[in-house]
């Protein structure tokens, strides 16, 4: 007589799935990488409650990611018991996260909104920071000053720009970034609107340690009209033209030895979508 197969996850109710997750998590003793993709707070916290014991079973977690909108004291208390956590992702953002000086002592990499990063970075060895979503306006210098308080200094930085076709905001933001984090060695910019080469030429040389640059999105070539005309024309770079631009940039950024460029079709709130038009890579 054959043993009936267990029901598939699709056939289970939402509550039954949660019960299974709780049972699994309550027996876990050596989990190191945990990623919650569900943004429903009470469900995530219910599963996390399986670890809420004096002898925390999450003590060995090294990578942790959440997609919660807003945070709770339960979540904060769990994060505070992660002495080995090295990589943390907080996708939705909540703000007002308060930690003690001894919390998260090994945190090296953070992916979060600016208002969460300024609560977490100070006093911790964060080297790699990815700010989620875009800078629609110039961030407060007070906020950015908090990012300088990493005990190791941030050298790997990723952010997104959506400046509505105006280079002025991007120019201000990159200047602000250089003013407070001049030691950046690896820089990745996600561009939701075309960014002109003149902004990059003007700002990037100030990052004296910059060795790697990655651009995702449209980079435009700004060309002046004949004298007497006040406006500029914007043209998208071709691969051949971009090669010349990179060489010009390298002449100004002496330590820059690797440049990558990816043009993409569309952008969603969680990731870049669409086919890659082409890759450009220069590793010389």
Residue 119's nearest CA partner among 147, 83, 138, 139 is 147
What residues are paired with 134 via a beta bridge? 160
pLDDT of residue 202: 94
Nearest to 126 by CA among 157, 154, 99: 154
According to the model, what pLDDT value does residue 98 have? Answer: 81
The per-residue pLDDT for 240 is 75
Q: What is the pLDDT of residue 226?
A: 39
Structure tokens at 225: 């009209």
List, in order, residues 6 or more apart from 165 with CB less than 8 Å away. Answer: 193, 194
Round to whole Å and give the CA distance between 17 and 10.
9
Q: Is-contact 128 110, C-beta < 8 A?
A: yes
Q: What is the pLDDT along the chain (284 residues), one digit of tens a residue?
A: 555 555 555 567 767 777 777 777 777 777 788 777 665 555 666 666 655 544 455 567 899 887 766 666 767 777 888 889 999 998 876 667 788 889 999 999 999 988 889 999 999 999 999 998 756 556 678 888 999 999 999 999 999 887 555 678 888 889 999 999 999 999 999 888 788 899 999 999 999 999 999 999 888 887 543 344 344 456 778 777 888 899 999 999 999 999 999 876 444 433 444 444 457 787 66
* Res 49: pLDDT: 60
- 105 vs 20, 100, 121, CA distance in Å? 32, 10, 11
Give the Å distances, CA to CA, from 88 to 99, 113, 121, 223, 238: 14, 12, 11, 43, 37
Q: pTM (2 decimals)?
A: 0.81
């Amino acid at each position: 007589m054959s043993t009936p197969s267990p029901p598939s996850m699709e056939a289970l109710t939402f509550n039954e799935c949660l019960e299974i997750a709780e049972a699994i998590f309550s027996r876990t003793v050596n989990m190191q990488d945990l990623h919650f993709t569900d943004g429903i707070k009470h469900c995530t916290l219910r599963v996390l409650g399986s670890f809420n014991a004096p002898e925390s079973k999450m003590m060995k977690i090294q990578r942790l990611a959440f997609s919660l909108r807003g945070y709770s004291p339960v979540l904060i208390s769990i994060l505070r018991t992660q002495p080995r956590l090295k990589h943390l992702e907080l996708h939705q953002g909540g703000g007002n996260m308060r930690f003690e000086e001894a919390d998260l002592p090994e945190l090296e990499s953070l992916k979060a909104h600016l208002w969460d990063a300024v609560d977490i970075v100070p006093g911790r060895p964060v080297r790699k920071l990815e700010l989620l979503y875009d800078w629609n306006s110039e961030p407060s210098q007070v906020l950015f000053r908090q990012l300088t308080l990493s005990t190791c200094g941030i050298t790997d930085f990723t952010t997104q720009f959506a400046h509505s076709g105006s280079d002025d905001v991007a120019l201000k933001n990159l200047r602000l970034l250089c003013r407070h984090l001049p030691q950046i060695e690896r820089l990745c910019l996600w561009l939701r609107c075309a960014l002109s080469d003149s902004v990059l030429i003007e700002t990037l040389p100030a990052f004296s340690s910059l060795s790697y640059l990655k651009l995702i999105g449209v980079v435009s070539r700004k060309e002046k009209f004949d004298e007497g005309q006040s406006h500029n024309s914007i043209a998208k770079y071709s691969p051949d033209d971009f090669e010349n631009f990179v060489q010009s940039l390298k002449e100004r950024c002496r330590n820059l030895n690797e440049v990558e460029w990816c043009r993409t079709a569309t952008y969603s709130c969680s990731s870049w979508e669409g086919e890659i038009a082409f890759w450009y890579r220069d590793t010389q």
